[in-house]
Structure formats: structure tokens, C-alpha cells
Amino acid sequence: MSETRFTEQHEWVRVDGSEGTVGITRYATEQLGDVVYVELPAIGKAIAKGAEGAVVESVKAASEVYAPVGGTVTAVNDDLNADPAKVNASPEEDGWFFKLKIADAAELSQLMTPAKYADYVKGL
């Protein structure tokens, strides 16, 4: 069973066992506008919690995508290179950025549950 957690910077991580899939939320895509370019990390790269994992550029701005938890990159969503608009069309499904083997599962407890994230966004 997978579990999704969120950061205050509008990243999400969907956890399935010891692997996490990372992306940005619909709220983030609405703030960015149309995504035109994505820079993905290298497979095998170790990323610390809160460190830059990817870069997303939109018609409005360029923004970093930070790792919600630390780990080692195991996969990237190469589909985004050819079609970065997938981030806008399906930010929490097909528009994911990278997967990582989670280094410390305890870091997940510092992230927001879906209900807490929904309340957080309402307050913005």
C-alpha cells in the first residue's frame, strides 16, 4: 500500500515500500503556469532531504524541486524531456520527476498527510 506525503514547498512523495516517487502538487503547477522544460537528476545521485532534486521551468519562472526525503535516485521520468506539459496535465500521476530509494524512513514523519496539506493550501 502506498502513502503520499507533502512538503510546505508543494512537493509530494508517494512511498511504496522503501521507494519514493517525487513530484510537485497541482497547487504548485497552478502557481508556475505552463511548464516548458524539466531538468532531472542523474540515476544513482544521492540527494539529501531538502536538497535540489530537479529543476522545472515554466512560462513564468524557473523553480527547484526539492527532495521531500533523502535517498538515492533510482529512476527519472524521461517522458518529461519530450513532453514537460505532463507536469501540468497530471502533476500527481504521470508528471512525477524522479524515484529514490529512501535513506531514512523516519524523515516521512516530518511531512504533511494529504489532509494536513489540503488545510495548509486553504490557508494560503
Domain ranges, ordered by start, for the chain: 3-102
* Residue 98: pLDDT band with limits 50, 70, 90: very high
The predicted pLDDT at position 19 comes to 98
* Contacts for 85-91: CB closer than 8 Å, 24+ residues apart: 85/34, 85/35, 87/23, 87/24, 87/29, 87/35, 87/38, 87/56, 88/29, 88/34, 88/35, 91/23, 91/24, 91/25, 91/26, 91/28, 91/29
pLDDT of 93 over the 80 cut:
yes
Mean pLDDT of 11-18: 97
Mean pLDDT of 5-9: 98
Mean pLDDT of 76-91: 97
**68 CB-side CA count, 13 A:** 31
The predicted pLDDT at position 2 comes to 87
* Residue 40: pLDDT band with limits 50, 70, 90: very high
Predicted TM-score of the model (pTM): 0.97
pLDDT of 96 over the 80 cut:
yes
Mean pLDDT of 77-96: 97
pLDDT of 1 over the 90 cut:
no
CATH topology assigned to domain 3-102: OB fold (Dihydrolipoamide Acetyltransferase, E2P) (2.40.50)
